[in-house]
Structures are given as C-alpha cells and as structure tokens.
Amino acid sequence: MDIALMGIGKIAQDQHVPAIAASPDFTLAATVSRHGSVPGVAAFSDIDSLLAARDDISVISLCLPPVPRFDAAARAIRAGRHVMLEKPPGATLAECHALHRLAEAHRVCLFATWHSREADKVPVAKAWLADKRLRALRVIWKEDVRRWHPGQEWIWEPGGMGVFDPGINALSIVTEILPHDIHLTSATLDVPENRQTPIGAELTFYHPEGAEVSAVFDWRQEGDQTWTIVAETDAGTLTLADGGARIKIDGAAPPPADDTPLSGEYPRLYAKMARLLARGGIDMDLRPMVHVSDALALGHRRRTAPFTE
C-alpha cells in the first residue's frame, strides 16, 4: 500500500523512513516537507498539493511537531485518507478528540502511535504485572536534550511539551503495563527562565490499591542516559531498563520468549497500522497525554537557570 510521510525531520529520517522501507505492507510513495526530502521519492511542499495530486495514496503518516499536526491531519481525514500520528497525537486533548470524531464521520482509520510501547520487553512486563499487587512504581527518565533534540526550538514553545516530549514515552509504557489506571495528584515543573516549557518534572500519582507511584523526568542529564521503570510488587521487583529494551525480575533476566516477534519499535508500529487498516477503526489511547495535560495544569512552576544549546 502506498503511504506518504509528512514532516521529514530527525525522527522521520532515523525511524520512519527505514521502517517503511523494511515493511512488507507499505511503500513510501511521497513526502511532504518544506525543507526535507527522501532521495527517489516524490516530494511535496504542503499537504494540499499532495492530496490534490495523489489520490492513489490512501495512508498518511504525520511526523510534524504537535502544534501544526491537527490541521494536516484534519485535511487528510476530510480527503478520505487514513492517518497515522507520531506521538504525542496532538498539542491538546480537545484537538485529539476532534480528530477522533472526524475520523469516525469520514470512516477512515486513525492511529495514535506510542512507539515506546513497542519496546521488546514491554509485553513481558505487562504480562508479569497482570496478577501482582503493586506496592510502588518509580519512573526515572533522564536524558541530554542537546544530544537527542538539537536545534529543535519548537519543543520549548507552548505546545512543545518540553521534557514531557520524552517523558510521555515513559507514561505510555506505564499506562500499558499497569493493570489499573492511575491519575496525577501533584507535580513540580522546572522551567528555564528563557523558555516556556519545562526542562524537568517530578510527578506523583494516585493508585486505586494504594501503591506509591512517582516519576522524575530530566533533560539535563550528562553522561549515561537513564530510561528506567521499577515496579515493586508482592511477588518481587520488576525493572524495565533502556526504555523497555531490557527487563529483570528480582535482579535476573527472565528466559527469552519462544517466538521471534518483529524487531524494532517503528516496524511494529507500521505492522499495527496495517492490521488496523485490515479491520478498520480507530486506535486512539490518550491516557499518556492526559497525564501530561494534568501535570501542566496542576504543576508548581520552579524557575531555573536559562537554557541555551
């Protein structure tokens, strides 16, 4: 199936283009970008030009920053195209709900992707936690913004989410692996004096069975990067490390699964999109974004030193 990719930035070049190239389900037939392109692939500078010229392309994958994404997604859906959304699915919850209603009205598929849920050991963690009583869960998500988001000024502007851009990856895993829903109770946000969005965050959550659930996000990490989730239960302690790529239970790695699932977060996302297209419908889990929205609403702002690249 022919697919178009809109927003040819770092994440598109690093992840989406290789995943589509390796996919048995999709062929990259066009790109939409004001600045980037993919060699050998038809390039358009705006979504309207693509929609007018290529009615043979039925699927559009959007890798734009969150703020301009709604307009492009709405135009594609109104034109009868199926849409795949890079995380987060939008800048606000309201526009995500609007896209959901629009996709229903036009009977097209809409997929809000959470790539970190596709990390190798996330399904293992979910299965292990399913029948355990949680006592505590701690998220430590610390990375160097200069290394992973160089020159991306949009992340510091309203709607860019700041440290929640990577932090929402952790929240997407937590909401996937826990058998019970949680909700935010308090937050402290570190906001640089010269920026609009936080560079660090400390979160606490309510758990219906009384477990202590917390998260620390920080974009000022130097040296080793940390993407870890630790869950203490009545039957032992589970640790997900490297963003869900590695798992240990009471310090030991569980035996590998017998099957050989598709490798890589983004290849798995495109395989899921193919299955969604086959059955029809909408996959739009907004729980990770709800937590971010709640943190931005409840969070106490702490002004910190100016940030410069």
* Catalytic entry in 10, 87, 132, 248: 87
Contact 144, 166 (CB under 8 A): no
Is residue 132 flagged as an active site residue?
no
Give the span between the Cα atoms of 242 and 248, in whole angstroms.
12
Look up tokens 């980037």; give the residue. Answer: 36
Length of the chain: 309
| Catalytic (active-site) positions | 87
